[in-house]
Amino acid sequence: MDLNGVPETSHSTLRTVDDLKGDKVIGAALSHVDILHMNEEELVFLTGCELEKEDAIQEACSLFLKNGVAILAVTRGSKGSILMSNTPERFSKSPQL
């Protein structure tokens, strides 16, 4: 799943796993997603993470994995990208990967 055009939202703190699971737009789909791609701006809009804090970015990315996404790819422009994967058991359910 590729997230394009995520609406700008404002979260004053980093969202929780339950917050993301309850998201009206993507919450219910997350446990069915093999590969989720977004850019860092979309990551901020969806999670409320602060880009200046690498730990916050990693924690925000892990929210998606904890909600069942098998592989997360976040593009960060000139800063490269972040690729994270879920448990090997979840990954093995997608043999085409």
User: Residues 12-53: pLDDT tens digits?
Assistant: 678 899 998 998 888 899 999 988 999 998 898 889 888 888
Asked, for residue 4, whether it belongs to a domain, the answer is no
Mean pLDDT of the chain: 84
Residue 30 located in a structural domain: yes
Residues 61/74, Cβ–Cβ less than 8 Å = yes
Task: Please say if the pLDDT value at position 95 is more than 90.
Answer: no
Judged by DSSP in three states, 84 sits in: strand
Span 55-59, average pLDDT: 87
Q: How far apart are CA 15 and CA 11, in angstroms?
A: 7
In a domain, 23, yes or no: yes
Q: Count other Cβ atoms within 10 Å, centred on residue 87.
A: 9
Q: What is the DSSP letter of 59?
A: H
**What is the extent of the structural domain holding 24?**
17-92
pLDDT beyond 60 at 92: yes
Residue 72 φ then ψ, to 5°: -120, 130
pLDDT at 25: 80
Q: Which amino acid is at 87?
A: T
Please report whether residue 2 resides in a domain. no
Confidence band for 67, pLDDT divided at 50, 70 and 90: very high
